[in-house]
Structure 1
């Protein structure tokens, strides 16, 4: 059996964690399924706004663990935080104005929050077979800082080594210092609210919300003897379509996304394919 071995670099890296929070524990099946889809979409959006091209070390539940071994400035870190934050919030607006599902996850998605943590430390790796991951004291340190005493839901947190390395004037940059006890160690860190990184945009009406004023080309009618909430789920959730539409041979759609206005799907009836958009 091959033993684990270390590939150690003396250089230091910036460790970066965007962490999403705010989902309650759901017991209803649709809410659990949709909460997974929503978090998946949001993590995709965060990665799409990784303007510093940081390496993704791991997806950790509702968080991304990332790092970069290049020297970067505080302004660059702020740009990344701003880009991710505003894309994150813009996407959440869709669950406020464009959702068609009323499950617990979709109904409360707008309440999701995000925080960002940055730590400057030594970059060591552990390698097991073909998997290589950052490892060591500084990796432990940024993960410990996820559990902190910051009295806010959304914030940017810098470890003390990060603040010192970047030579940031904490007071001038509106950071507040906290010292928390971790095991037998006292770790100082600094935080600030994300208010300054939010762009103010007017709420736009969705172009995908369409009022139908003329008769449809064809309609499907079914009698379904179930409570109205269950009927709504059967109609709006594509995976249940074949349970009540007996004419349908197959339906193709993105199983990793929640159906909402603008979502596309393909209905296959025999050899015919029909393209649809949810409105």
Structure 2
């Protein structure tokens, strides 16, 4: 995991807003002065600042080589917290939007073989990955599921461009995705990339558990667990000043830092976006995020301070 760097903030304009599936709109964001948008890599996402306390993360799904605009697609979440409703109902072409990023915790590793598995709006980060895999000449397959065909954004576009390597399986026609067959057909060394709702991710993780012939990468929209932060009190030490800050039994590291007047970037506060990633110089974090892989967590050189706590009495942070 690369060290955390200061995130770029951009003021972009909604240049286009299009319906791309039932309940899904895409936004094309451009520089209002006609300049280039920031560079990004497949798997990256941006934060859209949709209000004073409404910041949401959306995967980039456009062309990485197109510096004229950034594209995201947003599913209307009927039972969500209001971010998607603001995109669908309030944003208009010409509106100005504050954007943070891009940032990537779901990067495409080099491989000769990929299996991409998407559930619903989880197709968005996989689209530029597929384009990159195609450019590299890799062998790849996409297994794409959704509740209904009308709600599966970009399915026709993907099938029209790539043909039979794109397997589209709406649940109302085919039932649940046949993940076991797809994985059984994967050659040794296949990199598996999966994004979608939690039941899909959990099923893929279960099937890949214990297998050493494939490597799994997942990106979550929601945290794996929603338990409130709790545990024995501890202290964090800011390496750059030597300042010691206590963290109580029922508060997050982020809350303790902010209460002490320490400026830390944060967004989701659920351990899913990676905005608050902070370097760890000493101590053992109690990782409770849904961003870092098991190997990255085991390295104990960074943590998501919005949810993770400490297994040791003292943590020295790179702050």
**Bin for the TM-score computed over the shorter chain:** under 0.3
TM-score (norm 2): 0.24
Which of structures 1 and 2 has the bigger CA Rg? 1
TM-score (norm 1): 0.26
